[in-house]
Structure 1
Amino acid sequence: MRTIIFATAIRYLTPLFLLFSVYILFRGHNHPGGGFIGGLIGSIAFVFHALAHGSDHTVNTYFRLKLYSQEGKQPEHASPQYMWDLVRANTWKRAEEVTPVNWRYYIVRVRPAYMMALGLFLASISGVPGLLQGKPYMTASWLELEIPIIGTLGTPTLFDAGVYLLVLGMVLKMVFTMSKE
C-alpha cells in the first residue's frame, strides 16, 4: 500500500500524531487519557509510517541517531565555542558543516526493547517516593511547581510516562517483527 498520496500524507501526519500522543499523555491526570492511550496513539504514527515507507526506512528515520563529535578536541573544561559547535553539529546543518575530517560520528539505535525496559523501570520507580515518605507504595507525590500547559508534575506523571514508553515499545516491537516476515 505504498502510494504517493499516502506517503506524503504520512510525512505530515506523523509529527501531528506524536504531538497529540504527548498531549494525551499529560492530559490524563485530570481528564481521560494517560500513558496507555498516548502510547497507542504514538505507535499509530510509526505504524502508518512503516506501512507507507517500509519498516527499514522508519527505523532509519526515527530510531537511528547519528551523534557527532570532534576528534582530539575534548578539553576538560569545554569552551562555549566547542559546546556550541557540538550542539550545532548534532542538531542543525549536519550535511554542510560536519563533513570535515576532524568530525566523527556514532550511530545510536533506539531499540523498542530498550524503550520497554525504560518504561517498566520508570513505572516501577514511581512508587518509591511514597515508600520514602513512610506511606504505601504508589502513593502520589506532587511537586509545588506548576508548568503552564502540562500542569503539576508528580509521581503519577512519571508512572504515565513509563506506561507510555512501555506501550510504545511493545507495539513497535510487534510491528517491526511482523514486517520483517
Structure 2
Amino acid sequence: MKTIVLATAIRILIPLFIIFSVYTLFRGHNHPGGGFIGGLIGSIAFVFHTMTHGPQHTVDTFLKLNLYGYPRQPNQSRSLYLMRMMRVNVWRRRKMARHPDMKHHMVRIESVYIIATGLFLAVTSGVLGLLSGQPFMHAYWTDFYIPVLGKPGTPILFDLGVYLLVIGVVLKITFVMSEE
C-alpha cells in the first residue's frame, strides 16, 4: 500500500515517534512511561514504514550499517588503527569512501540481536545488585545530575534494556508477518 500521501506523512512522523519514544523512555522512572511504552511508541515508526515501503526497504533504511576501513598496516598500533577507522566512519565518510585502498563492509543489524542486547542490559541492571550483596534489581544511583535525564542509575539501564527488547520483538513480528 504505497501512496504518496502516506509515504510523505510517514517520512515526517518517524522522527516525531522516535523523539517521543526516547522522551517517554527517560521520564519513565519518575513519571508514567518507561522502557515498555517508549519501545511501543518507537516501534510504531518502524511498523508504519514497513506497511508503506515493505520490509526490505525498512531493513535497508534503518538496520544496515555501512562500515569503511583501510587494511591494517603491520607497524601500526591497534589504538591508532581504531582511531583512523573512527575518523573514516564518522567524520569523513563520503570523502574517504572513494579512496582506492578503502574497503566497504555492510553490516545488517538483525532484530534478534536487538532483542538479545535489550535482554542483556535488563538482566545486567539486576545482577549489579546481586554482585554487591543486595537483592536482585537493587537500584544504584549516581551522585551527579544530568539536566534533561536527572540522576542516572540502574533503573534507566533496565528501562533501556526493555526499550530495546520491545523494539526488537515488534520488529521481528512485523518482518515475519509482512513477508508472508
Report the TM-score, using the length of structure 2 for normalisation. Answer: 0.90
Considering only aligned residues, what root-mean-square deviation do their CA atoms show, in Å?
Answer: 2.0
Q: How does 1:1-181 map to 2 (within 5 A)?
A: 1-73=1-73, 75-76=76-77, 83=83, 86-91=85-90, 94-181=93-180
SS in 2 for 1:47: helix
AA matched with 1:66: N
Identity score, percent: 55
SS in 2 for 1:146: coil
Question: How many residue pairs align between the two structures?
Answer: 179
AA matched with 2:9: A
1:79, CA displacement in angstroms? 5.3
1:139, CA displacement in angstroms? 1.1
Unaligned 5+ segments in structure 1 are none
Asked whether the equivalents of residues 27 and 34 of structure 2 are also in contact (C-alpha less than 8 Å), the reply is yes
Are residues 156 and 72 of structure 1, via their aligned partners in 2, closer, same or farther at CA, if it must alter by over 3 Å?
closer
Are residues 2 and 95 of structure 1, via their aligned partners in 2, closer, same or farther at CA, if it must alter by over 3 Å?
same
Asked whether the equivalents of residues 96 and 102 of structure 2 are also in contact (C-alpha less than 8 Å), the reply is no
1:97, CA displacement in angstroms? 3.8
SS in 2 for 1:147: coil
Larger strand percent: 1
Equivalent-residue separation in structure 2 for 1:95 and 1:177 (angstroms) = 34
Equivalent-residue separation in structure 2 for 1:167 and 1:145 (angstroms) = 29
Equivalent-residue separation in structure 1 for 2:135 and 2:147 (angstroms) = 30
SS in 1 for 2:69: strand
Unaligned 5+ segments in structure 2 are none
